[in-house]
Chains A and B, each alone.
With several copies, the nearest count.
Chain A
Amino acid sequence: MMKKNNVKFMQGNEACVAGAIAAGMKFYAGYPITPSTEIAEVSAQLLPKVGGKFIQMEDEIAGMAAAIGGSLAGLKSMTATSGPGFSLKQENIGYAAIAEIPCVIVDVQRGGPSTGLPTAPSQGDIMQAKWGTHGDHPVIALSPSSVRETFDLTVRCFNLAEKYRTPVMLMLDEVVGHMREKIVIPDASEIEVIDRIKPEPGDSNYQPYKVKEGQIVPAMAAYGDGFRFHVTGLIHDESGFPSNSHEVADKLMTRLMKKVEDNLDDIIAFEENHIEDAEVVVLSYGGTARSAKSAMKKAREMGLKVGMFRPITIWPFPEKRVAEIAKNVKAIIVAEMNYGQLVLEVERVVKNAAPIYHVGKINGEVITPDEILAKIKEVL
């Protein structure tokens, strides 16, 4: 529609699908829900054109399950939803974690709890992304602030999922999901696409959960490739079969957690702005980070030394860097569209290094730059 074919004016939700397809998504299974529905709709439209498949399942539980099944059969798979559906998917997200099935789950956050405010923006599922399913499990969750970044981070979600054999969550919010913005779609050649490691063809000793010396992620065969392996959500040994051995349990669980913990440098991403001389740092993410940026600019115009920190990976949280920054500032302001979620994590990692303030909102409105600015003035 634009002159140059790779310049588009797109919704965040559309960019998510474009990114997914660029990353190699070949299967989408889901159930519609505002404000994520466009992701399903655009996937239904575009997937057949790239030889991929779309299915609308009977509910979100089934959408998650089918996405996992598709991934096990070799296709890069995605599902998208919003709060109520995200809650329903939790059991099977845990399954994907323990069975180490790469897949991408998009949550376009809306006002909760329950049906709440279905069309209003929110960032109220940030903690749920980490703790929503039962039991301990590794978590990777990313949050984009723009349409272009939605594209990029969707690609990255697939890459991380494939690289670490784990479900990865894209925590969109209604602001970014529904906003339309200019996006320059990168050339395929510019996009790094990572695929899961496959076993050697014909490897007769293939064990789906056995890692090579010095590695932490096992190779993953697809059903039908001739390996005939077993997959279960029970604690299992390297061969994939259930085990009640405490050693096996410990080994599996520890490896699962370490997949993320030992690779923080590879996984963690954040954006910093004017941190060097900042007396106050605004920490914000997703759609709200745009308000934070605007507030920072206004503050700077007024001569206030304000910086901004934007976690791009919400989980793992850029804990070390935030702790470091905290040492040099007078205050940290956490701005997020909820009652106080990521701020708790900030408090945990900052400890006494700097006072922490929260700008939250739970009324269905976005946080404005002026609200953040007011807090900046208050604390400076």
Chain B
Amino acid sequence: MSSQLINQYYRAEKLPHIWCPGCGHGIITRAVSQAIHNMGLDKDKVCIVSGIGCSSRAPGYMDFNTLHTTHGRALAFATGVKMARPELEVIVISGDGDAAAIGGNHLIHAARRNINITTIVFNNNIYGMTGGQYSPTTPTGDLATTAPFGNIDKSFDIANLAAAAGATYAARATAYHVPQLTKYIENGIKNKGFSLVEAISVCPTYYGRKNKKGTVVDQMNWLKDAAVDVKAAQKLTPEQMEGKFLIGEFKNVTEPEYTQEYQKILDRFKKER
């Protein structure tokens, strides 16, 4: 037997999963199901969509309507699902590469439309599945197989980018801060519009090893220490924020939701008929 949460929301026969020892993706995946459980959602009415990557393997383990698509395109597929069946709670699980590199355009456009999809980005600052190339969130200066002399790319703040593109809910937590993470996922799902929750993950196998970040426990400790809640941060000086990053809820507003707006067009014609 495994825990009730797992029994109830997982395809237990597919476990144990393929992720490496200590991979943060498992923690975040569990938090997603915890949030769904807390909200009491009907499993038959939840659809989880992913792209390609270690993170994108999550839906295969989860006992919902699940869709594992092509690299970067999860949100475009999900948009089709949501348009066709707005009554489904559509959740997208994606990686930093999947969501923000090849999939960046779909991310900003889904955010712009404010379509009621909740996207959870498992951000491990690396392309895990292909073996450790730098991603749009790899910190400048860090090493990756394709940045052997140190990454010269500046990195995205994914939550911020989604907010700027039009997401009505944007938050960030980490694989260490599971209670917050779970709460943000819940709030994201509750938001009737496009929500993005960035979940900082750890990839001990590639990112951690390449960058000499120590054991996975060391990396979890770093998450614990470097994350500063956005509210607390207001009281800190730039010097105090040096080397830290923000977690918390960054945006939470209400705006017209896409499928509901479309429904209004349909209703107009329904009346006419």
Instruction: Tell whether any CB of A sits under 8 Å from a CB of B in the complex.
Output: yes
Answer whether A58 and B101 are a contact pair too, CB < 8 Å, given A45-B148, A115-B70, A231-B68.
yes
Q: How far is the CA of A230 from the CA of B58 in the complex (A)?
A: 11
Q: Determine which of B77, B131, B266 lies in contact with A66 in the assembled complex, contact meaning CB atoms within 8 Å.
A: B77
- Whether the Cβ atoms of B72 and A115 lie closer than 8 Å is no
Say whether A300 faces chain B, with CB atoms less than 8 Å apart. no
Which residues of B are found within 8 Å of A114, using beta-carbon distances?
Answer: 70
Answer whether A65 and B146 are a contact pair too, CB < 8 Å, given A59-B105, A233-B70, A234-B68.
no
- Whether the Cβ atoms of A41 and B265 lie closer than 8 Å is no
0/1 interface trace, chain A 29-62, chain B, CB 8 Å (1 if under): 1011110010011001100110101111111111
Q: How far is the CA of A45 from the CA of B68 in the complex (A)?
A: 32
- Whether the Cβ atoms of B73 and A92 lie closer than 8 Å is yes
- Whether the Cβ atoms of B136 and A230 lie closer than 8 Å is no
- Whether the Cβ atoms of A32 and B133 lie closer than 8 Å is yes
Q: Determine which of A223, A226, A233 lies in contact with B85 in the assembled complex, contact meaning CB atoms within 8 Å.
A: A223
How close is B44's CB to chain A, nearest CB, in angstroms? 5
**Which DSSP category, helix, strand, loop or mixed, fits chain B's interface?**
mixed
- Whether the Cβ atoms of B70 and A69 lie closer than 8 Å is no
- Whether the Cβ atoms of A232 and B60 lie closer than 8 Å is yes
Which residues of B are found within 8 Å of A40, using beta-carbon distances?
Answer: 133, 146
Answer whether A62 and B147 are a contact pair too, CB < 8 Å, given A51-B266, A75-B84, A231-B68.
no
How close is A236's CB to chain B, nearest CB, in angstroms? 9
- Whether the Cβ atoms of B85 and A65 lie closer than 8 Å is no
- Whether the Cβ atoms of A68 and B52 lie closer than 8 Å is no
How close is B21's CB to chain A, nearest CB, in angstroms? 21
Say whether A241 faces chain B, with CB atoms less than 8 Å apart. yes
* Interface bracket on B: 35 or more
- Whether the Cβ atoms of A74 and B145 lie closer than 8 Å is no
Q: Determine which of B70, B72, B129 lies in contact with A95 in the assembled complex, contact meaning CB atoms within 8 Å.
A: B70
- Whether the Cβ atoms of B133 and A226 lie closer than 8 Å is no
- Whether the Cβ atoms of B47 and A224 lie closer than 8 Å is yes
Q: How far is the CA of A113 from the CA of B177 in the complex (A)?
A: 39
How close is A32's CB to chain B, nearest CB, in angstroms? 4
Q: How far is the CA of A73 from the CA of B106 in the complex (A)?
A: 19
Which residues of A are found within 8 Å of B269, using beta-carbon distances?
Answer: 48-49, 51
Which residues of A are found within 8 Å of B87, using beta-carbon distances?
Answer: 224
Between A61, A74, A114, the greatest number of chain B beta carbons within 10 A of the residue's beta carbon is seen for A61
Q: How far is the CA of A115 from the CA of B127 in the complex (A)?
A: 16
Say whether B104 faces chain A, with CB atoms less than 8 Å apart. yes
Answer whether A231 and B76 are a contact pair too, CB < 8 Å, given A48-B265, A59-B102.
no
- Whether the Cβ atoms of A61 and B73 lie closer than 8 Å is yes
- Whether the Cβ atoms of B81 and A53 lie closer than 8 Å is no
Q: How far is the CA of A74 from the CA of B65 in the complex (A)?
A: 13
How close is A113's CB to chain B, nearest CB, in angstroms? 11
Determine the residue in chain A with the shortest Cβ distance to B272: A49
Which residues of A are found within 8 Å of B127, using beta-carbon distances?
Answer: 32
Say whether A72 faces chain B, with CB atoms less than 8 Å apart. yes
Say whether A91 faces chain B, with CB atoms less than 8 Å apart. yes
- Whether the Cβ atoms of A73 and B101 lie closer than 8 Å is no
Q: How far is the CA of A41 from the CA of B127 in the complex (A)?
A: 13
- Whether the Cβ atoms of A53 and B84 lie closer than 8 Å is yes
Tell me the residues in window 122-163 of chain B with beta carbons closer than 8 Å to chain A beta carbons. Answer: 127, 129-131, 133-134, 136, 145-149, 153
Q: How far is the CA of A84 from the CA of B70 in the complex (A)?
A: 8
Tell me the residues in window 13-64 of chain B with beta carbons closer than 8 Å to chain A beta carbons. Answer: 14, 43-45, 47, 49, 52, 59-60, 63-64
Tell me the residues in window 46-105 of chain A with beta carbons closer than 8 Å to chain B beta carbons. Answer: 48-49, 51, 53-63, 65-75, 77, 84, 91-92, 95
Answer whether A31 and B102 are a contact pair too, CB < 8 Å, given A37-B131, A57-B109, A58-B136.
yes
Tell me the residues in window 71-108 of chain B with beta carbons closer than 8 Å to chain A beta carbons. Answer: 71-73, 76-85, 87-88, 101-102, 104-106
Q: How far is the CA of A9 from the CA of B43 in the complex (A)?
A: 49
Determine the residue in chain A with the shortest Cβ distance to B74: A65
Which residues of B are found within 8 Å of A69, using beta-carbon distances?
Answer: 49, 67, 76-84
How close is A87's CB to chain B, nearest CB, in angstroms? 9
Say whether B252 faces chain A, with CB atoms less than 8 Å apart. no
Answer whether A62 and B146 are a contact pair too, CB < 8 Å, given A48-B266, A241-B60.
no
Answer whether A29 and B80 are a contact pair too, CB < 8 Å, given A57-B109, A228-B64, A230-B66.
yes
- Whether the Cβ atoms of A74 and B133 lie closer than 8 Å is no
Say whether A229 faces chain B, with CB atoms less than 8 Å apart. yes
- Whether the Cβ atoms of B130 and A61 lie closer than 8 Å is no
- Whether the Cβ atoms of B80 and A27 lie closer than 8 Å is yes
How close is B67's CB to chain A, nearest CB, in angstroms? 5
- Whether the Cβ atoms of A44 and B102 lie closer than 8 Å is no
Q: Determine which of B76, B266, B268 lies in contact with A57 in the assembled complex, contact meaning CB atoms within 8 Å.
A: B76
What are the nearest 8 A-B pairs in CB distance?
A69-B80, A66-B80, A65-B76, A73-B84, A62-B76, A232-B68, A59-B102, A70-B80
**Interface residues of A, Cβ cutoff 8 Å to B:** 26-27, 29, 31-34, 37, 40-41, 44-45, 48-49, 51, 53-63, 65-75, 77, 84, 91-92, 95, 114-115, 222-234, 241-242
**Interface residues of B, Cβ cutoff 8 Å to A:** 11, 14, 43-45, 47, 49, 52, 59-60, 63-73, 76-85, 87-88, 101-102, 104-106, 109, 127, 129-131, 133-134, 136, 145-149, 153, 262, 265-266, 268-270
Query: 6 extra interchain contacts, Cβ-Cβ under 8 A, other than A31-B101, A231-B67?
Result: A29-B80, A56-B146, A65-B79, A75-B84, A223-B88, A234-B68
Listed A/B pairs (13) with beta-carbon separation below 8 Å: A40-B133, A40-B146, A41-B146, A44-B145, A44-B146, A53-B84, A53-B266, A69-B49, A72-B77, A115-B70, A223-B47, A224-B85, A232-B60
